[in-house]
Amino acid sequence: MSSRVFDYIAQEEQRQQTTVELIASENFVSADVLRAVGSCLTNKYSEGYPARRALGNQGRYYGGCAVVDQLEEYCIARWKEVFHTDYHVNVQPHSGSSANLAAYFALLQPGDSILSMSLSNGAHLTHGSPVNFSGKLYDMHFYDVDENGFIDYDAMARMARTLRPKLILAGASAYSRIIDYRRFADAARETGALFMVDMAHVAGLVAADEHPSPFGLADVITTTTHKTLRGPRGGLIFCRPELAKRIDSAVFPGTQGGPLQHVIAGKAVAAEEALTPAFRTYIHAVVANSRAMADEFTAMGYKVVTGGTDNHMFLLDLTDTGLTGKQVQEALDGAGITLNKNCVPGDRRSPFQTSGVRIGTAAMTTRGYTAEDFRRVAHRIDAMLRTLSPAENAADKRA
Protein backbone atom coordinates (compact mmCIF):
# COMPACT_ATOMS: atom_id res chain seq x y z
CA MET A 1 0.00 0.00 0.00
CA SER A 2 1.33 3.44 -0.93
CA SER A 3 1.57 6.01 1.82
CA ARG A 4 2.04 9.75 1.92
CA VAL A 5 4.66 9.15 4.62
CA PHE A 6 6.89 7.31 2.16
CA ASP A 7 6.38 10.07 -0.36
CA TYR A 8 7.80 12.50 2.21
CA ILE A 9 10.70 10.16 2.89
CA ALA A 10 11.45 9.94 -0.82
CA GLN A 11 11.34 13.72 -1.12
CA GLU A 12 13.75 14.10 1.80
CA GLU A 13 16.08 11.49 0.34
CA GLN A 14 16.10 13.41 -2.94
CA ARG A 15 16.81 16.66 -1.09
CA GLN A 16 19.72 15.12 0.79
CA GLN A 17 21.20 13.60 -2.36
CA THR A 18 21.07 16.86 -4.31
CA THR A 19 22.00 19.41 -1.63
CA VAL A 20 25.43 20.60 -0.57
CA GLU A 21 25.09 19.90 3.16
CA LEU A 22 27.16 22.30 5.29
CA ILE A 23 25.26 22.10 8.59
CA ALA A 24 28.01 21.33 11.10
CA SER A 25 25.84 19.06 13.25
CA GLU A 26 24.69 16.82 10.38
CA ASN A 27 26.24 13.88 8.60
CA PHE A 28 25.32 10.89 6.44
CA VAL A 29 25.24 7.48 8.13
CA SER A 30 26.30 4.23 6.51
CA ALA A 31 23.91 1.65 5.10
CA ASP A 32 24.75 -0.57 8.08
CA VAL A 33 23.70 2.11 10.58
CA LEU A 34 20.43 2.61 8.68
CA ARG A 35 19.86 -1.14 8.64
CA ALA A 36 20.38 -1.41 12.41
CA VAL A 37 18.14 1.54 13.26
CA GLY A 38 15.39 0.20 10.99
CA SER A 39 15.54 -3.29 12.47
CA CYS A 40 13.12 -5.39 14.52
CA LEU A 41 14.85 -4.13 17.67
CA THR A 42 12.40 -1.23 17.55
CA ASN A 43 9.79 -3.68 18.87
CA LYS A 44 11.60 -4.47 22.12
CA TYR A 45 10.97 -2.84 25.49
CA SER A 46 13.96 -3.11 27.84
CA GLU A 47 13.64 -0.69 30.75
CA GLY A 48 16.57 -1.04 33.09
CA TYR A 49 20.09 -2.30 32.40
CA PRO A 50 21.79 -5.56 31.45
CA ALA A 51 21.70 -7.78 34.52
CA ARG A 52 25.43 -8.42 34.56
CA ARG A 53 26.37 -4.76 35.00
CA ALA A 54 28.13 -4.66 38.37
CA LEU A 55 26.21 -1.73 39.79
CA GLY A 56 23.78 -3.50 42.07
CA ASN A 57 20.91 -2.97 39.62
CA GLN A 58 18.07 -5.43 39.33
CA GLY A 59 18.41 -5.90 35.59
CA ARG A 60 15.52 -5.34 33.22
CA TYR A 61 11.88 -4.77 34.09
CA TYR A 62 10.72 -6.90 31.14
CA GLY A 63 11.38 -10.45 30.06
CA GLY A 64 12.87 -11.48 26.77
CA CYS A 65 15.94 -9.25 27.08
CA ALA A 66 18.72 -11.82 26.76
CA VAL A 67 19.70 -10.66 23.27
CA VAL A 68 19.43 -6.92 23.88
CA ASP A 69 21.46 -7.36 27.07
CA GLN A 70 24.29 -8.74 24.96
CA LEU A 71 23.83 -6.00 22.38
CA GLU A 72 23.98 -3.20 24.94
CA GLU A 73 27.04 -4.68 26.63
CA TYR A 74 28.72 -5.00 23.23
CA CYS A 75 27.90 -1.37 22.41
CA ILE A 76 29.38 -0.24 25.73
CA ALA A 77 32.58 -2.20 25.15
CA ARG A 78 33.07 -0.78 21.66
CA TRP A 79 32.72 2.84 22.81
CA LYS A 80 35.27 2.25 25.56
CA GLU A 81 37.58 0.97 22.85
CA VAL A 82 36.92 3.96 20.58
CA PHE A 83 38.02 6.43 23.27
CA HIS A 84 40.65 4.20 24.93
CA THR A 85 38.97 4.64 28.30
CA ASP A 86 38.02 2.72 31.41
CA TYR A 87 35.28 5.27 32.18
CA HIS A 88 31.81 3.91 32.80
CA VAL A 89 29.55 4.27 29.72
CA ASN A 90 25.80 4.68 29.46
CA VAL A 91 24.59 4.20 25.88
CA GLN A 92 20.88 4.78 26.54
CA PRO A 93 20.40 8.59 26.24
CA HIS A 94 18.02 9.41 23.41
CA SER A 95 19.96 12.56 22.45
CA GLY A 96 22.73 14.89 23.49
CA SER A 97 20.21 17.04 25.31
CA SER A 98 18.93 13.97 27.16
CA ALA A 99 22.50 13.08 28.09
CA ASN A 100 23.12 16.57 29.48
CA LEU A 101 19.84 16.53 31.39
CA ALA A 102 20.74 13.21 33.01
CA ALA A 103 24.27 14.37 33.82
CA TYR A 104 23.00 17.50 35.57
CA PHE A 105 20.34 15.44 37.32
CA ALA A 106 23.01 13.05 38.61
CA LEU A 107 25.49 15.67 39.77
CA LEU A 108 23.43 18.67 40.88
CA GLN A 109 20.42 19.90 42.80
CA PRO A 110 18.07 22.53 41.32
CA GLY A 111 19.54 25.94 42.01
CA ASP A 112 23.16 24.76 42.03
CA SER A 113 25.58 26.95 40.12
CA ILE A 114 27.11 26.06 36.75
CA LEU A 115 29.86 27.97 34.94
CA SER A 116 29.60 27.41 31.19
CA MET A 117 30.34 29.14 27.91
CA SER A 118 28.04 32.01 27.05
CA LEU A 119 25.24 31.16 24.63
CA SER A 120 26.00 34.10 22.36
CA ASN A 121 29.56 32.91 21.84
CA GLY A 122 29.05 29.31 20.84
CA ALA A 123 27.44 27.26 23.61
CA HIS A 124 24.46 24.91 23.25
CA LEU A 125 20.92 25.48 24.51
CA THR A 126 21.49 22.92 27.27
CA HIS A 127 24.46 24.94 28.54
CA GLY A 128 22.24 27.49 30.22
CA SER A 129 19.79 29.08 27.81
CA PRO A 130 17.03 30.79 29.81
CA VAL A 131 14.39 29.07 27.66
CA ASN A 132 15.91 25.62 28.27
CA PHE A 133 15.64 23.34 31.31
CA SER A 134 19.27 24.11 32.11
CA GLY A 135 18.62 27.82 32.45
CA LYS A 136 15.36 27.29 34.30
CA LEU A 137 16.66 24.77 36.87
CA TYR A 138 20.20 25.94 37.60
CA ASP A 139 22.05 29.10 38.56
CA MET A 140 23.95 29.76 35.35
CA HIS A 141 27.07 31.89 34.97
CA PHE A 142 29.01 32.31 31.75
CA TYR A 143 32.61 32.69 30.70
CA ASP A 144 33.31 34.44 27.44
CA VAL A 145 35.63 34.76 24.49
CA ASP A 146 38.24 37.45 23.97
CA GLU A 147 38.27 40.15 21.29
CA ASN A 148 39.56 37.61 18.74
CA GLY A 149 36.86 35.04 19.48
CA PHE A 150 39.04 32.63 21.50
CA ILE A 151 37.95 31.29 24.91
CA ASP A 152 39.33 33.58 27.60
CA TYR A 153 40.76 30.93 29.93
CA ASP A 154 42.21 33.40 32.40
CA ALA A 155 38.85 35.15 32.82
CA MET A 156 37.15 31.76 33.16
CA ALA A 157 39.54 30.78 35.96
CA ARG A 158 38.98 34.09 37.75
CA MET A 159 35.22 33.60 37.54
CA ALA A 160 35.56 30.09 38.93
CA ARG A 161 37.56 31.35 41.90
CA THR A 162 34.97 34.05 42.61
CA LEU A 163 31.82 31.98 42.04
CA ARG A 164 32.93 28.60 43.38
CA PRO A 165 30.41 26.85 41.10
CA LYS A 166 29.25 23.32 41.73
CA LEU A 167 30.00 22.41 38.09
CA ILE A 168 32.28 23.78 35.35
CA LEU A 169 31.17 22.87 31.83
CA ALA A 170 33.35 22.88 28.71
CA GLY A 171 32.03 22.34 25.20
CA ALA A 172 30.37 24.27 22.41
CA SER A 173 28.19 24.05 19.33
CA ALA A 174 29.82 26.87 17.39
CA TYR A 175 33.47 27.18 18.37
CA SER A 176 36.12 26.48 15.76
CA ARG A 177 39.24 26.16 17.88
CA ILE A 178 40.85 23.51 20.07
CA ILE A 179 39.38 23.50 23.58
CA ASP A 180 42.03 23.26 26.28
CA TYR A 181 40.31 20.84 28.65
CA ARG A 182 43.26 20.89 31.06
CA ARG A 183 42.71 24.59 31.77
CA PHE A 184 39.13 23.80 32.78
CA ALA A 185 40.20 20.78 34.82
CA ASP A 186 42.74 22.90 36.67
CA ALA A 187 40.08 25.52 37.47
CA ALA A 188 37.68 22.83 38.68
CA ARG A 189 40.32 21.21 40.87
CA GLU A 190 41.33 24.58 42.36
CA THR A 191 37.75 25.53 43.25
CA GLY A 192 36.37 22.11 44.20
CA ALA A 193 33.95 22.03 41.26
CA LEU A 194 32.92 19.01 39.26
CA PHE A 195 34.16 19.14 35.67
CA MET A 196 31.89 18.12 32.79
CA VAL A 197 32.65 18.12 29.06
CA ASP A 198 30.06 18.14 26.28
CA MET A 199 32.14 16.95 23.31
CA ALA A 200 29.19 16.39 20.97
CA HIS A 201 30.70 18.31 18.07
CA VAL A 202 34.30 17.16 18.33
CA ALA A 203 33.82 13.55 19.50
CA GLY A 204 34.83 12.14 16.12
CA LEU A 205 37.94 14.30 16.18
CA VAL A 206 38.79 13.08 19.69
CA ALA A 207 38.39 9.48 18.52
CA ALA A 208 40.78 10.10 15.62
CA ASP A 209 43.33 12.12 17.63
CA GLU A 210 42.51 15.36 15.81
CA HIS A 211 41.46 17.06 19.08
CA PRO A 212 42.78 16.64 22.65
CA SER A 213 40.84 14.13 24.72
CA PRO A 214 38.88 15.07 27.86
CA PHE A 215 39.22 11.53 29.25
CA GLY A 216 41.27 11.46 32.42
CA LEU A 217 40.45 15.13 33.04
CA ALA A 218 36.65 15.38 33.19
CA ASP A 219 34.38 13.75 35.76
CA VAL A 220 31.57 13.35 33.23
CA ILE A 221 31.64 13.50 29.43
CA THR A 222 28.58 13.64 27.20
CA THR A 223 28.29 13.41 23.44
CA THR A 224 25.92 12.81 20.60
CA THR A 225 26.56 9.88 18.28
CA HIS A 226 25.73 11.72 15.06
CA LYS A 227 27.73 14.79 13.97
CA THR A 228 31.40 13.84 13.57
CA LEU A 229 30.90 10.30 14.93
CA ARG A 230 28.68 9.64 11.90
CA GLY A 231 26.24 7.43 13.79
CA PRO A 232 22.50 7.55 14.50
CA ARG A 233 20.90 10.43 16.33
CA GLY A 234 21.43 9.69 20.01
CA GLY A 235 23.61 10.34 23.04
CA LEU A 236 26.24 8.77 25.30
CA ILE A 237 27.45 9.53 28.81
CA PHE A 238 30.91 8.62 30.09
CA CYS A 239 31.87 9.08 33.73
CA ARG A 240 34.45 8.18 36.32
CA PRO A 241 33.57 4.76 37.80
CA GLU A 242 32.64 6.21 41.19
CA LEU A 243 29.84 8.22 39.52
CA ALA A 244 28.42 5.26 37.56
CA LYS A 245 25.48 4.46 39.81
CA ARG A 246 24.41 8.11 39.97
CA ILE A 247 24.62 8.50 36.19
CA ASP A 248 22.75 5.27 35.43
CA SER A 249 20.00 6.12 37.93
CA ALA A 250 19.68 9.60 36.42
CA VAL A 251 19.13 8.13 32.95
CA PHE A 252 16.74 5.41 34.13
CA PRO A 253 14.47 5.87 35.97
CA GLY A 254 15.44 9.52 36.48
CA THR A 255 14.87 11.05 33.06
CA GLN A 256 13.99 8.26 30.62
CA GLY A 257 11.91 5.12 30.35
CA GLY A 258 12.67 2.38 27.86
CA PRO A 259 15.89 2.68 25.87
CA LEU A 260 15.74 2.55 22.08
CA GLN A 261 17.49 -0.72 21.34
CA HIS A 262 17.36 -0.20 17.58
CA VAL A 263 19.26 3.08 18.06
CA ILE A 264 21.68 1.40 20.47
CA ALA A 265 22.34 -1.10 17.67
CA GLY A 266 23.08 1.81 15.35
CA LYS A 267 25.40 3.29 17.98
CA ALA A 268 27.25 -0.02 18.17
CA VAL A 269 27.70 -0.07 14.39
CA ALA A 270 28.99 3.51 14.50
CA ALA A 271 31.50 2.51 17.18
CA GLU A 272 32.70 -0.39 15.01
CA GLU A 273 33.14 2.02 12.12
CA ALA A 274 34.97 4.56 14.30
CA LEU A 275 37.55 1.88 15.13
CA THR A 276 38.60 1.46 11.48
CA PRO A 277 41.58 3.13 9.77
CA ALA A 278 39.11 4.50 7.20
CA PHE A 279 37.39 6.55 9.90
CA ARG A 280 40.65 8.16 10.97
CA THR A 281 41.40 9.01 7.34
CA TYR A 282 37.93 10.50 7.03
CA ILE A 283 38.28 12.72 10.12
CA HIS A 284 41.70 13.97 9.01
CA ALA A 285 40.06 14.97 5.71
CA VAL A 286 37.17 16.70 7.51
CA VAL A 287 39.60 18.95 9.39
CA ALA A 288 41.76 19.63 6.33
CA ASN A 289 38.68 20.49 4.28
CA SER A 290 37.38 22.84 6.97
CA ARG A 291 40.68 24.71 7.04
CA ALA A 292 40.83 24.92 3.26
CA MET A 293 37.32 26.35 3.02
CA ALA A 294 37.84 28.84 5.85
CA ASP A 295 41.10 30.00 4.29
CA GLU A 296 39.35 30.47 0.94
CA PHE A 297 36.71 32.72 2.51
CA THR A 298 39.47 34.72 4.21
CA ALA A 299 41.28 35.10 0.89
CA MET A 300 38.05 36.47 -0.64
CA GLY A 301 37.87 39.13 2.08
CA TYR A 302 35.35 37.58 4.45
CA LYS A 303 35.74 37.71 8.22
CA VAL A 304 36.13 34.23 9.69
CA VAL A 305 35.66 34.23 13.48
CA THR A 306 39.02 33.58 15.21
CA GLY A 307 40.66 33.88 11.79
CA GLY A 308 40.33 30.20 10.98
CA THR A 309 39.52 26.76 12.35
CA ASP A 310 41.06 23.74 14.07
CA ASN A 311 38.07 21.46 13.69
CA HIS A 312 35.14 20.60 11.41
CA MET A 313 33.45 24.00 11.40
CA PHE A 314 33.89 27.75 11.28
CA LEU A 315 31.77 30.89 11.52
CA LEU A 316 31.47 33.65 8.93
CA ASP A 317 30.90 37.06 10.53
CA LEU A 318 28.70 39.01 8.10
CA THR A 319 28.40 42.14 10.25
CA ASP A 320 30.38 44.31 7.85
CA THR A 321 28.26 43.23 4.87
CA GLY A 322 24.96 44.30 6.43
CA LEU A 323 23.52 40.87 5.66
CA THR A 324 21.83 38.75 8.28
CA GLY A 325 22.46 35.08 8.84
CA LYS A 326 18.79 34.43 8.21
CA GLN A 327 19.00 36.13 4.80
CA VAL A 328 21.99 34.07 3.80
CA GLN A 329 20.55 30.79 5.06
CA GLU A 330 17.32 31.30 3.15
CA ALA A 331 19.05 32.43 -0.05
CA LEU A 332 21.41 29.47 -0.03
CA ASP A 333 18.53 27.08 0.68
CA GLY A 334 17.09 28.20 -2.64
CA ALA A 335 20.43 27.50 -4.32
CA GLY A 336 20.78 23.98 -2.95
CA ILE A 337 23.34 24.79 -0.24
CA THR A 338 22.28 24.14 3.35
CA LEU A 339 23.84 25.81 6.38
CA ASN A 340 22.50 27.60 9.45
CA LYS A 341 22.37 31.14 10.74
CA ASN A 342 24.45 31.64 13.87
CA CYS A 343 25.28 34.40 16.31
CA VAL A 344 28.86 35.67 16.29
CA PRO A 345 30.79 37.09 19.27
CA GLY A 346 29.34 40.46 20.25
CA ASP A 347 26.33 39.98 17.98
CA ARG A 348 23.75 42.79 18.20
CA ARG A 349 21.13 40.84 16.28
CA SER A 350 18.72 38.36 17.79
CA PRO A 351 19.18 34.58 17.43
CA PHE A 352 16.33 34.71 14.93
CA GLN A 353 18.35 36.99 12.61
CA THR A 354 22.04 36.71 13.60
CA SER A 355 25.06 38.34 12.02
CA GLY A 356 26.72 35.14 10.94
CA VAL A 357 26.45 31.64 9.56
CA ARG A 358 28.00 28.36 10.70
CA ILE A 359 29.65 26.11 8.11
CA GLY A 360 30.73 22.50 8.61
CA THR A 361 32.52 19.99 6.41
CA ALA A 362 31.73 16.60 8.00
CA ALA A 363 28.74 15.66 5.84
CA MET A 364 30.12 16.50 2.41
CA THR A 365 33.46 14.92 3.27
CA THR A 366 31.46 11.72 3.80
CA ARG A 367 30.14 12.26 0.28
CA GLY A 368 33.71 12.41 -1.03
CA TYR A 369 34.29 16.16 -1.30
CA THR A 370 37.92 17.24 -1.37
CA ALA A 371 39.54 20.52 -0.31
CA GLU A 372 39.22 21.78 -3.87
CA ASP A 373 35.48 20.95 -3.88
CA PHE A 374 34.99 22.98 -0.71
CA ARG A 375 36.91 25.91 -2.20
CA ARG A 376 34.57 25.82 -5.19
CA VAL A 377 31.54 25.81 -2.86
CA ALA A 378 33.00 28.84 -1.07
CA HIS A 379 33.04 30.70 -4.38
CA ARG A 380 29.45 29.62 -5.09
CA ILE A 381 28.43 31.06 -1.73
CA ASP A 382 30.36 34.26 -2.43
CA ALA A 383 28.59 34.68 -5.78
CA MET A 384 25.20 34.27 -4.09
CA LEU A 385 26.01 36.74 -1.31
CA ARG A 386 26.97 39.37 -3.87
CA THR A 387 23.39 39.30 -5.19
CA LEU A 388 21.87 40.09 -1.77
CA SER A 389 21.07 43.53 -0.42
CA PRO A 390 21.80 44.49 3.20
CA ALA A 391 18.82 44.09 5.51
CA GLU A 392 17.19 47.39 6.38
CA ASN A 393 18.14 48.34 9.94
CA ALA A 394 19.05 44.69 10.42
CA ALA A 395 21.29 45.41 13.39
CA ASP A 396 18.33 46.78 15.30
CA LYS A 397 15.83 44.01 14.55
CA ARG A 398 15.06 41.64 17.44
CA ALA A 399 12.94 39.03 15.68
pLDDT at 398: 35
Cα torsion through 278, 281, 287, 292, rounded to 10: -120
The answer on 354 and 241 residing in a single domain is: no
Say which of 32, 45, 81, 183 is annotated catalytic.
Answer: 45
How would you classify the pairing of strands 113-117 and 20-21? unpaired
pLDDT at 247: 97
The answer on 283 and 270 residing in a single domain is: no
pLDDT at 397: 41
The answer on 264 and 200 residing in a single domain is: yes
The answer on 295 and 195 residing in a single domain is: no
The answer on 202 and 78 residing in a single domain is: yes
Cα 308-309-311 angle, rounded to 5 deg: 170
Cα 23 from chain centre: 12
The answer on 297 and 243 residing in a single domain is: no
For the chain, what is the mean pLDDT? 95
Task: Reply yes or no on whether 397 is catalytic.
Answer: no
The answer on 283 and 268 residing in a single domain is: no
Task: Reply yes or no on whether 224 is catalytic.
Answer: yes
Task: Reply yes or no on whether 47 is catalytic.
Answer: yes
pLDDT at 51: 76
What is the rounded distance in angstroms from the CA atom of residue 378 to the CA atom of residue 381?
Answer: 5
The answer on 255 and 306 residing in a single domain is: no
Nearest CA among 116, 121, 118 for reference residue 148:
121
CATH classification of the domain holding 70: 3.40.640.10
The answer on 305 and 176 residing in a single domain is: no
In this structure, is residue 119 part of a structural domain?
A: yes
Task: Specify the 3-state DSSP secondary structure of 26.
Answer: coil
Task: Reply yes or no on whether 227 is catalytic.
Answer: yes
pLDDT at 189: 98
The answer on 326 and 235 residing in a single domain is: no
Say which of 227, 230, 291, 326 is annotated catalytic.
Answer: 227
Q: Where a domain ends, among 233, 259, 274?
A: 274
Q: What is the helix, strand, coil percentage profile of the chain, to 5? A: 45, 15, 40
Average pLDDT by consecutive 10-residue portion of the chain (399 residues)?
Answer: 87 97 98 98 96 65 95 98 98 97 97 94 91 94 95 97 98 97 98 98 98 98 98 98 97 96 98 98 98 98 97 97 96 97 92 95 98 98 95 47
pLDDT at 394: 43
| Domains held by the chain: number | 2
CATH classification of the domain holding 331: 3.90.1150.10
Say which of 126, 222, 223, 224 is annotated catalytic.
Answer: 224
Phi and psi at residue 211, in whole multiples of 5°?
-150, 140
Are 241 and 215 a contacting pair, CB within 8 Å? Answer: no
Phi and psi at residue 217, in whole multiples of 5°?
-110, -45
The answer on 312 and 178 residing in a single domain is: no
Task: Reply yes or no on whether 104 is catalytic.
Answer: no
pLDDT at 120: 86
Say which of 47, 144, 152, 382 is annotated catalytic.
Answer: 47
pLDDT tens-digit readout, 41-78: 999 999 999 976 645 556 899 999 999 999 999 999 99
> Which residues are bridge partners to 304 per DSSP?
316
Q: Which domain holds residue 181?
A: 31-274
Say which of 26, 72, 198, 296 is annotated catalytic.
Answer: 198
Whole-prediction pTM: 0.95
Quickly list DSSP for 119-181. Answer: GGGT--GGGT-TTSHHHHHSEEEEE-B-TTSSB-HHHHHHHHHHH--SEEEE--SS--S---H
Q: Where a domain ends, among 249, 274, 299?
A: 274
Task: Reply yes or no on whether 367 is catalytic.
Answer: no
The reply to whether omega before 253 is within 30° of 0 (cis) is: yes
How would you classify the pairing of strands 313-317 and 303-304? antiparallel
In this structure, is residue 148 part of a structural domain?
A: yes
Nearest CA among 24, 1, 42 for reference residue 266:
42
Say which of 60, 177, 233, 326 is annotated catalytic.
Answer: 233
The answer on 163 and 61 residing in a single domain is: yes
